[in-house]
Amino acid sequence: MKYLTRTVWLLSLVSLFTDLASEMLYPVLPIYLKSIGFSVFLIGILEGVAEATAGLSKSYFGQWSDRLGQRLPFVRWGYGLSALSKPMLAVLAAPWWVLLARTVDRLGKGLRTGARDALLADEAATGRVGAVFGFHRGLDTLGAVLGPAAALYWLTQHPGQYRLLFLLAFIPGIVAVLATLLIKAKPIPASATPVRPFWASFAYWRQAPPAYRHVAGALLIFALFNSSDALLLLLARQQGLSDPAVLGVYIFYNLVYAVAAFPAGLLADRLGKRPLLVGGLALFAVVYAAATQVHGWEWFGAVFGLYGLYAAATEGIGKAWLSQLCAPTDKGAALGTFAGLNSLAALLASTVAGLLWHLQNATLAFGISAVAAAAVAIFLAVVPVPTKH
């Protein structure tokens, strides 16, 4: 497997340790914030600002890496900021400070995402881009298995010790940063396209090839109905699962995702990206249609297992396909634009789904998402992709 180069391995390990650090905090952060006086409304504002920061910055920094012909500075600084944000949460509990810490974390994600994905695409051998992205997503998601498990063990042994957990999360974060220093990127030609202002970050969309807009547009429509995983976890809790059982099915979902991501990438290279994406979206439709109808940890285990297969068949493979539908010098802008728009669409999706759930019921909210996923799957299956240029 010579296509899994030193750079691909290092980037994947960096993502693993960073995700381990982030996922140590993800399940407990809302609980901690409520314990220091944050209301649900304030938590929503905090997460909204953080995600908007990441979404708006991904395209901007992606196109900047194209213009400079350099990926590594964005990768290193991006992972560095995310690592720095972890101990910041342990220093002060003031709302403005927590907002700053979360914004630093999401700015780091925005800084690195487009450049990192472009670097992976640059490293991929011809015909192996799906495998490279699948391998990266597999190790990245392994961190999402280890992180919650570590947090669960820590809080079992040290109940309520959230701030020390934030300090502990800095350790894998700094390991990730140090690993970026070992990466040596291949030289790439700089793009002749000037860097647009921050407020015009998504201008790449207008110049993108029709094939890119066709595939990215379909996936973004799906993203408008793909709400946060937190709502799926909340549904499991509402349907009778205990808190440990909810955390257990979440870990199981990430484990299935981590194990299946690389084989899914290999299949995508062999069969084509389209069949895997269509199949993944169909699985999503099944999961969201079934989630409101099942009870018990066994059934939710099956639902979250299918959800892991959906993620393995779509997350990395979508990026792999898009990286092949743009000019080589525009990979940072193309992947950053998609990642940024996807983040903003997901933010809107979660808001609307939460509102529908509140005003009507979960069945309506999840049912609409299932229908939308099925519609996008049919569109990608039957509508021809335009020529690249």
pLDDT at res. 214:
92
Nearest by Cα to 68 from 129, 4, 119, 127: 119
pLDDT at res. 11:
92
- Long-range residue pairs from 31-38, CB within 8 A, at least 24 positions apart, any chain: 31/162, 32/162, 33/98, 35/160, 35/162, 36/93, 37/93, 38/95, 38/98
Q: What is the pLDDT of residues 253-275, one digit of tens each?
A: 888 988 888 898 888 888 888 99
Cα(278)–Cα(24) distance, integer angstroms: 32
Statement: residue 85 has pLDDT above 80 = yes
CATH, range 6-185+206-382? 1.20.1250.20
pLDDT at res. 133:
82
What type of residue is 381? A
Name the one residue in this structure whose structure tokens are 């992947």: 335
DSSP state of 291: H
Average pLDDT over residues 146-160: 82
Q: Give backbone dihedrals phi and psi of 367, rounded to 5 degrees, phi first.
A: -65, -40
Statement: residue 244 has pLDDT above 90 = no
Q: What is the pLDDT of residues 186-231, one digit of tens each?
A: 777 766 666 565 555 677 788 888 998 999 999 999 988 987 777 7
Cα(283)–Cα(226) distance, integer angstroms: 13
Sign of CA dihedral 14, 15, 19, 22: positive
| Assigned token pair, 39 | 């209301």
Q: Determine whether 360 is exposed, middle or buried from the number of CB atoms within 10 Å of its CB (0-12, 13-18, 19+).
A: exposed
pLDDT at res. 43:
63
Confidence of residue 4 (pLDDT cuts 50, 70, 90): confident
Cα(338)–Cα(213) distance, integer angstroms: 10
> Rounded to the nearest 5 degrees, what angle is found at the Cα of 120, between the Cα atoms of 2 and 224?
135
Statement: residue 74 has pLDDT above 60 = yes
pLDDT at res. 79:
93
Q: What is the pLDDT of residues 91-131, one digit of tens each?
A: 877 777 887 888 888 889 888 888 888 888 888 766 778 78
Q: What is the pLDDT of residues 294-344, one digit of tens each?
A: 888 888 889 999 999 999 999 888 888 888 888 877 887 788 888 888 878
Cα(252)–Cα(305) distance, integer angstroms: 7
Residue 158 CA to its chain's centroid (Å)? 30
Give the torsion through C-alpha atoms of 214, 138, 343, 54, to 10 deg.
-130
| Assigned token pair, 383 | 């509508």
